[in-house]
Amino acid sequence: MPARPAAHRPTLEAVAARAGVSRATVSRVVNGGAGVRGPLAERVRAAVDELGYIPNQAARTLVTRRNGAIAVVVAEPESRFFTDPFFAQQVRGISRELAAHDNQLVLLLTGGAADHERVGRYLTGGHVDGALIFSLHADDSLPVIARNAGVPTVIGGRPTWPDPDTRRRTLYVDCDNRGGARDAVRRLLALGRRRIAHIAGPLDQPASIDRLDGFRDVLPDIAPGLIAEGDFTPEGGARAMERLLERSPDLDGVFAASDVMASGALRVLRARGRRVPDDVAVVGFDDMVSVAEWTDPPLTTIRQDIEEMGRLMAQLLLHALEPASDPDGVPAVSSIITPTRLVVRASA
Amino acid sequence: MPARPAAHRPTLEAVAARAGVSRATVSRVVNGGAGVRGPLAERVRAAVDELGYIPNQAARTLVTRRNGAIAVVVAEPESRFFTDPFFAQQVRGISRELAAHDNQLVLLLTGGAADHERVGRYLTGGHVDGALIFSLHADDSLPVIARNAGVPTVIGGRPTWPDPDTRRRTLYVDCDNRGGARDAVRRLLALGRRRIAHIAGPLDQPASIDRLDGFRDVLPDIAPGLIAEGDFTPEGGARAMERLLERSPDLDGVFAASDVMASGALRVLRARGRRVPDDVAVVGFDDMVSVAEWTDPPLTTIRQDIEEMGRLMAQLLLHALEPASDPDGVPAVSSIITPTRLVVRASA
DNA sequence: TTGAAAGCGCTAACAC
DNA sequence: GTGTTAGCGCTTTCAA
C-alpha cells in the first residue's frame, strides 16, 4: 500500500549527498536554518523537496530526548468516557493549549486494569514527554507508575495518596469542590429551606467526598437519612431522589453533586407531584450547560470551568517540562484549585 | 517531579555491566530470553530489577522500525466525536483488537484543517506503525498524506476519491449502506405504504449518499419533495420531518438515514398527532441500541455491527503490516463490506 | 559558516 | 549459548 515504503525513505545522508553538503548542514536547515548562508540553505531545501525527505522521529528523539507529544490518560471504561460531557470539555481545553505549543495530544484509554500494564509501558517507554492523567477513582496506580518512571505528570482532580510528601510533589488541577458545595447549601438556606438533602457522587471519588464535606461544613448535624449516594448518571440521581423522599418526605431542598444527577432528581420530583422550586428547591453542580439549561425548570447550579481546567493542566505540564524547572526536587510550579461560582436559574 | 529523571535512566549497558554479561545477552533476555541459559537469564533479570531498567523505545524503534502503536485519526470536531455513540462503539472494537495483539491505540483528534498539518507530521514522523482514519467528509486530505508518507492505512467508510486505481489500492471497511437502505424501503412497501419519504444524512458523506441511492434503487421515480436532508442529529431529523410533512402531508412511511434522526422525526410526528406506525411507519438505520430501544415506539431499523467494523479495521491494518504482504503493489488483503440486517421493533 | 566525528540506546548478524 | 561488532538516522560539540 505504501507509495514510498518506509524502508526506502531518504535519510539526512541522502539529502546531504544530493545537495553536496554535510549532514550537519542539512540538519541545521531542517531545524530552522540558523547559521546557514542563504543560498546554501536554499540548495538544501531544494534537495529536501526533491527527495521528499521526512525526518525520522525515533532517531531525533533518541538524541534530543523530546518527542513533542503529550499523553492524556483516561482510566475509565470507554462507555463513561464517551458519554460524560465532562471529558469532552476537559479534552478540548487540553487540546487547545497543547496545539498552541505545537505538541501533539495522544489519547490513551485504559478501560480495565488489564490495560494498565500496556499503557504504563507506553508511558515509561518514552513515547511521550509527559502525561495528563485522569485518575478519578481512589485506587489508581497509573500516576504512581508514571511517577516512578520519571514521566512528568499532572493529575486531573485531587489525588488521594495518603503520604503528604508524595502529595506535595504531585501536580494537579481541581476545582474548589468543597467551597462550591458550601455555596450551594448556603443558597438553599438563604431561600429559607430547613430540610436539605444531598445526592452525593460515588464516594470513592475525591470530588464526591469534597462536595459532601462542603455540605457537612454548613450542615454539621445533618441526619444520615438526608444523604444518598448516586453514581453521576441521571438514573442514579433519580434512584437517590426516590430513596430520599421515602426516608424524608418533608424535605424542602436538595443539593445534587452533579447537574446530570440533578436532572434525574427533577424528573422524580415532578413525577411525585412536588413543585420545583416551590415545594423543593434544587441546586446542582458543574454547570454543564447542555444539561442545566434544558432541565425543567432550568437548574440553579455551581459552575466550574472545565475547559479552563483542561487548559491549566496542559499549561502546568508544559511548564514543568521546561529545563529550568527543578529536575528532582519540589516542582517550580504548584497545583491549582480553580474557583467555583453560583449560577442562579429557576430551580432554586 | 521525576523520581528518576529520564536523563539518569539505566541503559542496557549498565544492566550488562551489573550482571557481568554482554549487552546482547541482556537484550535477548529483555526480549523474551530465547536462547539464554536459565541461570544466566535469572542473573540478568535480577540486574534489570535492581536497576529499574526500562528499554528506551526510541532506540528500539530506530532499529526495529516498529513501535507497537497504531493511530486512530478522527477528523471531526471534539463535540461530534464525543456526542455520537457511533465513534464510541467503533473505538471499542478497534481497541479490543489492538490490545489483543499488544498494540497501543493512540487517538488523534483533528477538529479543524488547522490541526491537519500537525497530525500529518505526527503520522509521517514514524510515531506509529499504521493509521485507522475516519474520513467522513468528502474533502479530507489526511488519508492522502498518510498514503504519500508510506504509512499503512485503513479507512473507516468508503472513500470518495475519483481515481479508480487509487481507490483499489486503498483499504477500507464499510457496511452495506445501499443494500441496507433497500431493505428499509422494502419493509415499508411490504407494510403497504405508498407515500414513502426519506430523511437523508449530510450529502457530503458517502454513507448518506449510499443510503439515498439505496432508497432510490427501490423507488426510482420518487418526487423530490419526499426527500429532505438532515445532519445526523435529533434536531436535524425533527426539522427534516417538519419540512416533509409540510410538502407532503399525505406521507405514510419514512426511512431515516440514522436512528438518531429518526428519534427527532418521531417526536415531530407525535406532536403533529400522527400515530406511529398506524398513520406513518418509520424505519431508522444503525440500530444504535441506546436510541432505538428507547424511542416511543421502539424503532424498527437496519442494523450494522459498528463494533465489529472497528475490529475488522484493526485486523485489516495489522494484517497489512505483516512483512509477508506485498510492500508496494496491491495489498494482499482487500476492503470489507459488512452486511446489514433489518431489526423489527414497533415503529414499522 | 561549514564539516568531521562522536555518540544517543538498542538490535541483529556474525563469530567464537 | 554468548560475545563482538556494526549500524539504525539524527543532533551536537569541536575544529577548521
pLDDT at B70 > cutoff 70? yes
Q: Give the nucleotide nearest to B60 (CA→C1').
A: C10
Cβ neighbours, 10 Å, residue A14: 15
Pick the CATH number of B177-305 from 3.90.230.10, 3.40.190.10, 3.40.50.620, 3.40.50.2300: 3.40.50.2300
- Whether any strand C atom is under 7 angstroms from the Cβ of B56: the reply reads yes
In this prediction, residue A139 carries a pLDDT of 65
Place of cell 540553505: A41
B89: which residues sit within 8 A by CB, 6+ positions away?
B306, B307, B310
Closest by CA position to B342, among listed B182, B212, B211:
B182
pLDDT at B134 > cutoff 90? no
Measured distance CA(A260)–CA(A292) in Å, rounded? 8
Q: Does B289 touch chain A (CB under 8 A)?
A: no
Cβ–Cβ under 8 Å, residues B42 and B107: no
- Residue spans of the domains in chain B: they are 12-55, 69-175+308-337, 177-305
Q: Does B125 touch chain A (CB under 8 A)?
A: yes
In this prediction, residue B88 carries a pLDDT of 83
B299, β-bridge pairs: none
A220: which residues sit within 8 A by CB, 6+ positions away?
none
- Would you call B199 exposed, middle or buried from its count of C-beta atoms within 10 A (0-12, 13-18, 19+)? buried
CA B40 / C1′ C16 distance in Å? 18
Are B126 and A56 inside 8 Å of each other by CB?
yes
In this prediction, residue B209 carries a pLDDT of 96
**Torsion from C-alpha of A24, A27, A29, A33, nearest 10 degrees:** -80
pLDDT at B291 > cutoff 70? yes
**Residue that wins the pLDDT comparison between A331 and B65:** B65
Q: Does B38 touch chain A (CB under 8 A)?
A: no
- The widest CA-to-CA distance across chain B, in whole angstroms, is 87
Q: Residue B344 carries which side chain, given as an amino acid letter?
A: V
In this prediction, residue B228 carries a pLDDT of 98
Provide the shortest C-alpha distance from residue A231 to chain B (in Å).
Answer: 19
- Whether any strand C atom is under 7 angstroms from the Cβ of A223: the reply reads no
**Predicted TM-score of the model (pTM):** 0.83
A199, β-bridge pairs: A228, A256
Measured distance CA(B94)–CA(B100) in Å, rounded? 10
In this prediction, residue A138 carries a pLDDT of 64
B37: which residues sit within 8 A by CB, 6+ positions away?
none
pLDDT at B151 > cutoff 70? yes
Chain A residue closest to B321 (CA)? A1
Q: Does A109 touch chain B (CB under 8 A)?
A: yes
B341, β-bridge pairs: B303
Measured distance CA(B51)–CA(B32) in Å, rounded? 19
CA A30 / C1′ D6 distance in Å? 27
- Whether any strand C atom is under 7 angstroms from the Cβ of A66: the reply reads no
Nucleotides of D under 7 A from a protein CB: 1-13
Q: Give the nucleotide nearest to A31 (CA→C1').
A: D11
* Bridge pairing between strands A341-343 and A300-303: antiparallel
**Per-residue exposure over A124-160, b if at least 16 CB sit within 10 Å of its own CB, e if not:** bbbbbbbbbbbbbeeebebbbbbbebbbbbbbbbbbe
Q: Does A107 touch chain B (CB under 8 A)?
A: yes
Closest by CA position to A341, among listed A224, A213, A179:
A179
Sites in chain A below the pLDDT cut of 50: 1-6, 327-330
pLDDT at B109 > cutoff 70? yes
Cβ–Cβ under 8 Å, residues A168 and A191: no
B117: which residues sit within 8 A by CB, 6+ positions away?
none
pLDDT band at B161 (very low <50, low <70, confident <90, very high): confident
Of A121-130, B179-188, B254-263, B306-315, which gets the smallest average pLDDT? Answer: A121-130
Q: Looking at chain B from residue 134 to 163, which residues have their Cβ under 8 Å from any Cβ of chain A?
A: 147-153
In this prediction, residue A348 carries a pLDDT of 95
Backbone torsions φ then ψ of B283, nearest 5 degrees: -120, 135
If you write DSSP's letter for every residue of A182-212 in order, what string do you get?
Answer: HHHHHHHHHTT--SEEEEE--TTSHHHHHHH
Are B7 and A58 inside 8 Å of each other by CB?
no
Q: Does B67 touch chain A (CB under 8 A)?
A: yes
Give the HSE-up count for residue B130: Cα atoms under 13 Å, Cβ half-sphere.
Answer: 22
If you write DSSP's letter for every residue of B249-306 in order, what string do you get?
Answer: TT--EEEESSHHHHHHHHHHHHHTT--TTTT-EEEEEE--HHHHTTSSSPPEEEE--H
Beta-carbon contacts below 8 Å between A and B: 163
The fold of B69-175+308-337 is Rossmann fold (3.40.50)
At B1-13, the pLDDT tens digits run 333 444 578 899 9
Distances (CA, A) of A192 to A252, B66, B72, B249, B336: 9, 66, 53, 53, 65
If you write DSSP's letter for every residue of B126-190 in order, what string do you get?
Answer: TSSSEEEEE--STT--HHHHHHHTT--EEEES----S-HHHHHT-EEEEE-HHHHHHHHHHHHHH
At A159-178, the pLDDT tens digits run 887 777 777 778 999 999 99
What does CATH list as the number for B12-55?
Answer: 1.10.260.40
- Whether any strand C atom is under 7 angstroms from the Cβ of A59: the reply reads yes
Which three cell numbers mark A154? 499532572
Measured distance CA(A121)–CA(B67) in Å, rounded? 12
CA B65 / C1′ C16 distance in Å? 29
CATH fold match for the domains B69-175+308-337 and B177-305:
yes
DSSP H helices, A20-112, are 23-30, 38-51, 57-64, 78-83, 85-100
Cβ–Cβ under 8 Å, residues B326 and B332: yes
Cβ–Cβ under 8 Å, residues A122 and B69: yes
Three-class SS of residue A248? coil
**Residue that wins the pLDDT comparison between B269 and A120:** B269
Closest by CA position to A340, among listed A288, A285, A259, A282:
A285
Q: Does A95 touch chain B (CB under 8 A)?
A: yes
Backbone torsions φ then ψ of A301, nearest 5 degrees: -155, 175
Q: Looking at chain A from residue 165 to 224, which residues have their Cβ under 8 Å from any Cβ of chain B?
A: 169-171
Three-class SS of residue B192? coil
pLDDT at B257 > cutoff 60? yes
Three-class SS of residue B58? helix
Provide the shortest C-alpha distance from residue A243 to chain B (in Å).
Answer: 25
Closest by CA position to A258, among listed A220, A226, A217, A210:
A210
At A35-69, the pLDDT tens digits run 888 888 999 999 999 998 989 889 999 898 888 88
